[in-house]
Homo-oligomer: A and B are copies of this chain.
Amino acid sequence: MATKPAIPKGTRDFSPEEMAKRNYIFNTISNVFRLFGFQQIETPAMENLSTLMGKYGEEGDKLLFKILNSGDFLSGISPEDITSGNTNKLAAMLCEKGLRYDLTVPFARFVVMHRNEISFPFKRYQLQPVWRADRPQKGRYREFYQCDADVVGSDSLLNEVELLQLMDEVYHRFGIRVSIKLNNRKILSGIAEIIGEHDKIVDITVAIDKLDKIGLENVNEELRSKGIPDSAIAKLQPIILLQGSNREKLAVLRNELSLSETGLKGVEELEYILDKLETSPLRSELVIDLTLARGLNYYTGAIVEVKAIDVQIGSITGGGRYDNLTGVFGMPGVSGVGISFGADRIFDVLNQLDLYPEDSLQTTQIMFVNFGEKEEAVCLKHISALRAAGIRAEIYPENAKMKKQMGYADAKKIGYVGIVGETEIEAGKINLKNMSTGEQKLLTLNEIIDLIK
């Protein structure tokens, strides 16, 4: 019996057209990574579960795809193990390996395993799929690509500056107008410190974020409902109402956080970045935004996020500075800063704004119609010459009906069709049809090479 084929939910096939677009995205990002001195690595799709487990929280452990041990996977498992109902424990006995959940933990594992071969600071990038057993929904997949760049083994803030310039260059190349939001974990800590509410950072940033929508009174009300005392809320007022230019915001913060060493350190770090960017300014806008609180358990310095200005969609790039990437694998003291591009969202943005350059389609540039053996022989010589000139060329492999051959060229979005019949062979020329205008011209091979190149 024939099986009706399907693919696992949350996964995707990519058609030639989608692949051309994705290659354009990955190539653009990779080229900029390399322009800035980053080098690519790859790690295996499968990691030992001992490497992955416990790194993404309890929820993350559940979302790991686990791989059934090969051979006799039941050996060493007792009937009690099975009937105990402890599926986590049983899964750990049935499976030694799991699929990569992100690129960060495998990168940390890579750094520790290859510490003696790596020359620090290590600027690496990685473009690979990751897998998560999340409930699939619109825009959320069980297999998707991450594009990460990190510098590890250097505390210099110059790395933050370089990464901001790198993001700016990538979006300039894409032609996507973006706003780059910047925050610093030390400032958030400083705020919590001065009001004496260390564990309320998230509540505070969430509330501040609503200022434009619900107004100051309601923000204060929300803070109160989270158990923050009135005295603290009073101290927070200048921070909630923070506005103006980046420099103006930093001036206010410097003042308000004067009693927090950590907070002032955060302000200084942002000032350093703004100073450095004065000599080579970004093309995108850069906005200091205290409501940015992504990766709060992880980031220790800069926090950054990129939003597309012309499309309503979540953050399309994010990152920050972290301490102690590799401590969990027994190698302390490796800090770093990194960013991650969201390829799937960039794909959506480029589609919505129709920003793919024409030549990113990477399809055949000229197809020859096949009229039979004699004409075919002439076309094959032409095709060899075209390919030698770097032009993507093909001939329809059979002497099929003209309509079928033209339909093929049409469906494949081929730019030109070459027609070589008796008349053209005698004239030593090619009848070239421009598939978008319909225009037809009798040209020599060399004229066609010049035209298409």
Give the interface of A toward B (CB within 8 A): 2-8, 11-16, 19-20, 22-23, 34-37, 39-48, 50-51, 62-63, 65-68, 70-74, 79, 82-83, 87, 90-91, 94-97, 99, 109-110, 112-114, 117, 119-121, 123-124, 129, 131, 133, 142-143, 151, 154-156, 158-159, 162, 165, 169, 276, 279-280, 327-330, 362-364, 367, 376-377, 380-381, 384, 387, 390-398, 407-408, 411-412
Which residues of chain B come closer than 8 Å to A87, judged between CB atoms? 72-74
Q: A19: which of B20, B39, B143, B367 is its contact (CB, 8 Å)? A: B39
Copies of this protein in the complex:
2
Which residue of chain B is the closest to A363 with respect to CB atoms? B39
Which residues of chain B come closer than 8 Å to A16, judged between CB atoms? 39-41, 124
**Which residue, of A70, A120, A276, has the highest number of chain B Cβ atoms within 10 A?**
A70
The 4 closest A-B pairs by CB, nearest first: A37-B394, A2-B330, A16-B39, A119-B411
Which residues of chain B come closer than 8 Å to A11, judged between CB atoms? 44-46
Give the distance in Å from the alpha carbon of A165 to the alpha carbon of B387 in the complex. Answer: 11
- Whether A15 lies near B41 (C-beta < 8 A) is yes
- Whether A364 lies near B47 (C-beta < 8 A) is no
Which residues of chain B come closer than 8 Å to A39, judged between CB atoms? 16, 19-20, 362-363, 412
What is the distance, in angstroms, from A13's C-beta to the closest C-beta of chain B?
A: 5
With contacts A15-B117, A119-B412, A412-B39 taken as known, whether A48 is within 8 angstroms of B7 at the C-beta atoms is yes
- Whether B159 lies near A397 (C-beta < 8 A) is yes
- Whether B23 lies near A394 (C-beta < 8 A) is no
